[in-house]
Amino acid sequence: MTARHLISPPPEMRVSPRGLLAVIGLGALAVAWWPVVVVFRVPAPVEATVLLAHLCGMLAGYAVVVLLGLMSRTPALERGVGADVLARWHARGGRIVIGLILVHAAAVVLAWAQSRQESTLLALWHVLRLPWLMAATIGTVSLLAVGAASARAARRRLSYESWHTLHLLTYAGVALSFVHQLAGPDLTGHRWLQICWALLYTYVFALVLLHRVLTPLRQATRHRLRVAAVVPEGPGVVSIAVDGRHLSELRAEPGQFFRWRFLTPDTWRSAHPFSLSAPPTDNRLRLTVKALGQGSAHLQDIPVGTWIGAEGPYGAMTAARRTRRNVLLIAGGVGITPMRALFETLPVRPGQDLTLLYRARGPEDLVFSHELEQIAHWRGARLLYLVGADHDCLSAPALLRVVPDLAHRDVYLCAAPRMSDAVRAPLRDAGLPAEYLHEERFAF
């Protein structure tokens, strides 16, 4: 890998989830090792609070970098690990960071109080007066505010946009606590370590800037995306054909999604994730939108000619994940969109089987029936509709009745979170090993 590839890897590069976890784990070990060295170097008995303060402080600083990296939208991570998995790791990691920061702060104050025989309150006052501590405390408070807003109960009450805007506070929080890290007892006096730490932060901020700001801007001017047609597919569902230039440079794959920002006065503020519902070509992309809330309802009659900013492609639920001969696609509701594109394009050789199970509440909720039947016909693939409110058709015995070799297939699953949750256990009970289940959840 060249230096250029580190900051901007080739679009086809993929980092596997295991590979990424291994790198994060090794990084954590390396970071945890240093404060232990620092603490044991001092020729005095080591207090547990002191060791805890050092360890948690360094690990929190490291975990923050990891969290930013996970959300940097680096293509190798998005394609290899998948946006939904990255978002879940980020959410879990956020809780760990907050825990580490709180333990670090408490341990520092306690250690100070013990070593100087002061009350905890007086120790807190002295600690806060240390250089850059006030800035770090404000940074910590902003991280706590973001954490509180992300807690399930609060998240449900906030609109996605408000929650997302609040999340931008994280960057301010990280910047405010950065100098405290450099000036802290583990790094101060170690010029090379300070440089490496600063480079780590610079690198990850560069990734965020590149992939979340500069690349979308470059793509907007290069590809000049506009709405070409809006086609009703069913009640509250439309397909939006998008025209653009040089789209093959994006290397978008069936199964992936973009974050679409439609530039009208009503819709420009939010970028919504929608999957490609047809294989991409050099001058056309297609997405299909179900009206589930205000943002998606506005798109039902978006004017032809509207300019679009699109970020992506993202998502790991592509043909690259396939390792077995036969494939089962399971789509629930509007989760049919990426499955429609995969159903048309997943390679099927003679003797191999491709089956699509399409679950919908009622016949009126089925979209693309005509297209799906045509694809099934010319590809020799199987198409099964599971229509009705009853969830029994998704039990392990029911699934095995229609796909007896289920345990020996790659299974692609895309549905709303509730249906995905309802299918995961039956798939496991039917004998499918977890590594052969490839999922895109329509929720972050």
Cα(283)–Cα(248) distance, integer angstroms: 8
Nearer to ligand FAD, 150 or 219 (CB): 150
224-263 footprint of ligand FAD as x/- string (CB under 6 A)? ---------------------------------x------
Question: For residue 322, what are the contacts with CB-CB under 8 A and spacing of at least 6?
Answer: 346, 410, 438
**Selected binder of ligand FAD within 275, 326, 345, 420 (CB under 6 A):** 275
Minimum CB separation of residue 81 from ligand FAD in Å reads 13
81-100 footprint of ligand FAD as x/- string (CB under 6 A)? --x-----------------
Chain centre distance of CA 73: 8
296 lies in the site for ligand FAD, by CB under 6 A: yes
Minimum CB separation of residue 109 from ligand FAD in Å reads 38
Binding piece for ligand FAD, criterion CB under 6 A, among 43-51, 178-186, 426-434, 435-443? 435-443
The residue with its CB nearest to ligand FAD is 293
**Selected binder of ligand FAD within 293, 380, 431, 433 (CB under 6 A):** 293
3-state helix, strand, coil in the chain (%, to 5): 55, 15, 25
Burial 187-225 (b: 16+ CB within 10 A, else e): beeeeeebeebeebbebbbbbbebbeeebbeebbeebeb
Cα(206)–Cα(278) distance, integer angstroms: 33
Residues 173 to 212 in contact with ligand FAD, rule: CB under 6 A: none
Binding piece for ligand FAD, criterion CB under 6 A, among 43-51, 62-70, 227-235, 287-295? 287-295
Cα(407)–Cα(328) distance, integer angstroms: 10
Cα(383)–Cα(322) distance, integer angstroms: 19
404 lies in the site for ligand FAD, by CB under 6 A: no
What CA dihedral angle connects 209, 210, 211 and 215, to 10 degrees? 120
266 lies in the site for ligand FAD, by CB under 6 A: no
CA distances from 263 to 228, 266, 270, 324 (A): 14, 8, 9, 42
Amino acid at 236: G
Residues 313 to 372 in contact with ligand FAD, rule: CB under 6 A: 334, 337
Interacting residues with ligand FAD (CB under 6 A): 83, 159-160, 257, 270-275, 287-290, 292-296, 334, 337, 440, 442-444
